[in-house]
Chain A
Amino acid sequence: MSKLTDKNSYTVIFAIIMVVVVGSLLAGVAQTLKGRISENERFEKQQNILYAMGINNNQGATDVAFIPATEVAEKFDTYIKKQVVIQGDQITEDPEAFLIDIKQEASKAKDDPNYQRRLPMFIGEKDGKTLYIVPMRGNGLWDAIWGFMAIDENLRVEGVFFDHAGETPGLGANIKERFFMDPFTGEELMSNGTFRGVTVAKGNNDPRNNRKDDHRVDAIAGSTITGDGVTAMIRRDVAMYIPHIKKLINEQQ
């Protein structure tokens, strides 16, 4: 039987209507929800920064509990004393530094070698200690990975937070779990005055992570490339901040 749905004209008209309807539906919903979504993303960033500083609602040994979104803005103002933007040698205060898109800054710097990249940094205070929290961004196995690292006045890691866009669930996705993030705390970043970072290492024979001066944490089995991505991200992004943090520490003393 020859059906209407087999006709070419019907097919074309159907395709056009489908594209228009689905396209405008998705665009409409995205537009309506845009405000709420970006607000959520802003809270998330603040939660992540606070988490790296060790400000969280963790209770058990395994849960990753952020400060609730309703309180995070207030807590952020209490703990983060200063937000700065580093550009070249200039360090300027900017209360909206946490909104800087570091992905965009990195790609601008890549396209134009003369572009002076804006580097946001957050200076917080916890238990009388001044902490320097720096953002990082790199590549995992499938997609982007990013995070924050809180660094204390002795250039030791106070805490980290990692997140990812699409690492393998159960393997690389576990970089955002406590058993991976917690061992970073206390690791030395410097060795004899030069920056070494922290390497995600296999077979470092230290699964309890008792050695804090070996610049290594234990890797996750089955997620080598995600782990290497974390190492590379720390080496590249944190390194850019080290001279500036040193300068700020010297000024303070």
Chain B
Amino acid sequence: MALLSRKERNLVLDPLTDDNPITVQVLGICSALAITAELKASVVMAVSVIAVLAVGNVVISLLRNVIPNKIRIIVQLVVIAALVILVDLILKAFAFELSKQLSVFIGLIITNCIIMGRFEAFALGNNPWHSFLDGIGNAGGYGLILIIVGFFRELLGFGTLFGYKVLGDPIEKTGLYALGYENNGFMVLSPMALIVIGIIIWVQRIKNKELIED
């Protein structure tokens, strides 16, 4: 595989595991708690953030030598907000149905700390190609956690996955519910997302002791 050098491969792969933005860098926690009640919302958010962070990282990286240091955070905010609003406007004009589905996520993307975090920590100091890979990797790592949390919350909270009743019907008492199983209503609420993320962090640190801080 000569497509990506070793360093480049690490840029994409590290954030998926040992340098995960949510469980290790503790970025993007808020949206991971808020919108993971269903798997579908997790997937949409994951895909949107991958697209936005990859493109945003490239733009910031291209501008990195001209952005004044004193107002760099504001510039980053303007870039990301302008990008997202542009995409939203274009979708509204040419793919209205899609824009209806995504509109809820727009605000969540702009205020997502993972985006600003990667601009500040990586794109400002690296070339566009590496920034692009970093964007894909970090947004991918973020999306991975979102999807894991969404999987458990939807399965245990609603007994469904992507809306399909995988455990049977709770009202008609079929499948597992016939045996007396009940959905855990608490899983639907965000505190349980925090607990699920906590468990992921715990498991990850059992497997890799180097991640444990003193």
Contact = CB atoms under 8 A, between A and B. Distances in A.
B188 A18 contact: no
A15 B41 contact: no
Given A11-B70, A18-B78, A25-B82, A168 B93 contact: no
Interface string A1-19: 0010110001100110011
B67 A168 contact: no
A208 B188 contact: no
Contacts of B73: none
Contacts of A173: 41, 104
B66 interface: yes
A26 B86 contact: yes
A169 B92 contact: no
Contacts of A43: 96
A18 B72 CA distance: 12
A164 B100 CA distance: 10
Nearest to A171: B37
A88 interface: no
B185 A15 contact: no
A125 interface: no
Interface string B95-126: 01000100111010000000000000000000
A25 B87 CA distance: 12
A173 B40 CA distance: 12
A204 interface: no
A15 B92 contact: no
Contacts of A69: 96
Given A33-B90, A168-B37, A169-B104, A14 B82 contact: no
B71 interface: yes
Contacts of A37: 89, 92-93
B171 interface: yes
Interface string A148-176: 00000000000000001111111101000
B69 A29 contact: no
Contacts of A62: 163
A3 B72 CA distance: 15
Contact of B44 (A10, A14, A22, A169): A169
Contacts of B89: 26, 29-30, 33, 37
A228 interface: no
Contacts of A166: 103-104, 107
Given A11-B71, A26-B89, A222-B189, 4 more contacts: A14-B66, A15-B68, A166-B107, A170-B36
Top 3 closest pairs, chain A to chain B, by CB: A170-B37, A170-B38, A169-B41
23 contacts: A5-B66, A5-B67, A6-B68, A11-B70, A15-B68, A15-B71, A18-B75, A18-B78, A25-B82, A26-B82, A26-B85, A29-B90, A30-B89, A37-B89, A37-B92, A37-B93, A165-B104, A166-B107, A168-B35, A170-B35, A170-B154, A221-B185, A222-B185
